[in-house]
């Protein structure tokens, strides 16, 4: 009882300090408390600016907050950030805001247009159920899992990520599967536990197996996109849509690989998934082009000899290769989770901690009242389209807060 009372008093003190801004000057505050104080002030400002739940913040474009209306893959991350603030602070205002923004996304449970239903619902409804236990949130997740299952092809053994799409060099993708699809499998593992129906987990396992076989190179790096023959189930082509070249290592894709296979191991217990996560992580940590501060370039091979982009890359415009805080935040969260399951826990814990220390420095952590209310600076969305380059991104903030919460629990 005493421990709980002390926690409540400390949380109340932190809330007062955060609201006044004094916590940001206090030398005795930990990295996580300083980061969460900044997050609270930034998201308080965003909530006031946004008003109702009609538009969801995505990034900054031309200096203004760019929002989407349930037409993208990122809408669940804003309510997810609110849930993480509630988890850390216990503040009722964060819970109320998180519930309101989460429930506005309920129509998306029937979305079958691509694989992103997992991102949309697990970040919002998934955290809502985890922190409240309310059945209504679980019901939405199960229906969303049914929607995702509609994209599973028995012959290919994979969930089709996107519908027909062309690559940068006009290759046609009729059954593309992207590495980020691994993160969306968490929705299916949840549904299997919630319903007692193992078929959801079986689909997730099969998708992970096929991804493990088809997406990875010998060195542990991964392709972003593999296009399959729907009739034979064999890969027709392997390449990239957001990376530097088809054979390069796109940083956010590599982070998704570590994140997705770590989660798949946690949910399934299959050792080959853990081995794949560790191999992908070792590639990241051992790469000679990884900066010392732990924040990767948007692509590990951008501009390096031997790698040729299939699009019009302006080497002068990107003479200073952009860093990607979004890839770093996802990787930090993945490394911290991997430390719970690996036989080398200290290696991955220290890697995640190192990234968080850098992201929590003034170079990346925004000054309150700036950055459009977003928490972190210097992310990259889709550089080949010159879209969201060196700007804040909502999913960067989401995985940063997730990593901070994981870090606190591990500490």
Q: Which SS3 state, helix, strand or coil, does residue 236 take?
A: strand
Closest to 179 measured CA to CA, from 209, 147, 227, 223: 223
Backbone angles phi, psi at 153, to 5 degrees: -110, 120
> Tokens 């929002």, residue?
67
Distance in angstroms (rounded) separating the CA atoms of residues 197 and 213: 26
Give helix then strand counts, H and E, for the chain: 14, 11
Task: Per residue of the chain (411 residues), give pLDDT as tens.
Answer: 333 343 333 444 455 557 555 555 555 569 999 999 999 999 999 999 998 888 999 999 999 999 999 889 999 999 999 999 999 999 999 999 999 999 999 999 999 999 999 999 999 999 999 999 999 999 999 999 999 999 999 999 999 999 999 888 788 999 999 999 999 999 999 999 999 999 999 999 999 999 999 999 999 999 999 999 999 999 999 999 999 999 999 999 999 999 999 999 999 999 999 999 999 999 999 999 999 999 999 999 999 999 999 899 999 999 999 999 999 999 999 999 999 999 999 999 999 999 999 999 999 999 999 999 999 999 999 999 999 999 999 999 999 999 999 999 998
Q: Which domain holds residue 224?
A: 2-410
126-162 core/surface letters (b: 16 or more CB in 10 A; e: else): bbbbebeeeeebbebbbbbbbbbbebbeeebbbbbbb
Closest to 371 measured CA to CA, from 46, 48, 94: 46
Q: What CATH number has the domain bearing residue 179?
A: 1.50.10.10
Number of domains in the chain: 1
* Contact call for residues 130 and 107 (beta carbons, < 8 A): no
């Amino acid at each position: 009882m005493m421990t709980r009372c002390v926690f409540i008093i400390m949380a109340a003190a932190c809330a007062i300090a955060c609201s006044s801004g004094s916590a940001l000057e206090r030398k005795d505050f930990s990295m996580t408390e300083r980061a969460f104080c900044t997050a609270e002030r930034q998201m308080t400002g965003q909530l006031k600016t946004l008003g109702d739940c009609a538009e969801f913040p995505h990034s900054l474009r031309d200096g203004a907050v760019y929002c989407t209306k349930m037409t993208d893959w990122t809408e669940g991350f804003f309510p997810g950030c609110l849930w993480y603030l509630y988890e850390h602070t216990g503040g009722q205002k964060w819970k109320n805001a998180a519930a309101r923004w989460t429930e506005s996304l309920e129509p998306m449970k029937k979305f079958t247009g691509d694989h992103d239903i997992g991102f949309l619902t697990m970040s919002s409804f998934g955290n809502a159920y985890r922190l409240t236990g309310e059945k209504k949130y679980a019901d939405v997740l199960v229906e969303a899992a049914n929607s995702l299952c509609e994209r599973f092809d028995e012959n290919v053994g994979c969930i089709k990520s996107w519908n027909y799409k062309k690559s940068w060099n006009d290759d046609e993708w009729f059954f593309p599967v992207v590495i980020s699809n691994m993160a969306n499998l968490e929705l299916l593992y949840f549904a299997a536990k919630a319903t007692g129906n193992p078929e959801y987990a079986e689909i997730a396992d099969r998708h992970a197996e096929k991804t493990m076989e088809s997406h990875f190179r010998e060195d542990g790096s991964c392709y972003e996109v593999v296009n399959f023959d729907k009739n034979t189930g064999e890969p027709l082509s392997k390449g990239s849509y957001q990376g530097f070249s088809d054979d390069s290592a796109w940083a956010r894709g590599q982070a998704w690989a570590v994140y997705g296979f770590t989660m798949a191991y946690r949910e399934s217990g299959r050792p080959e998934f853990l081995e794949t996560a560790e191999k992908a992580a070792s590639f990241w940590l051992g790469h000679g082009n990884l900066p010392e501060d732990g924040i990767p370039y948007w692509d590990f091979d951008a501009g390096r000899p031997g790698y040729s982009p299939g699009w019009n890359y302006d080497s002068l415009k990107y003479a200073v290769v952009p860093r990607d805080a979004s890839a770093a935040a996802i990787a930090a969260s993945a490394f911290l989770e991997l430390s719970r399951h690996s036989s080398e826990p200290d290696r991955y814990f220290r890697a995640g901690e190192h990234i968080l220390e850098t992201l929590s420095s003034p170079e990346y952590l925004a000054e309150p009242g700036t950055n459009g209310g977003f928490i972190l600076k210097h992310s990259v969305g889709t550089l080949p389209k010159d879209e969201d380059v060196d700007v804040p991104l909502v999913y960067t903030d989401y995985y940063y807060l997730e990593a901070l919460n994981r870090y606190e629990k591990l500490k």
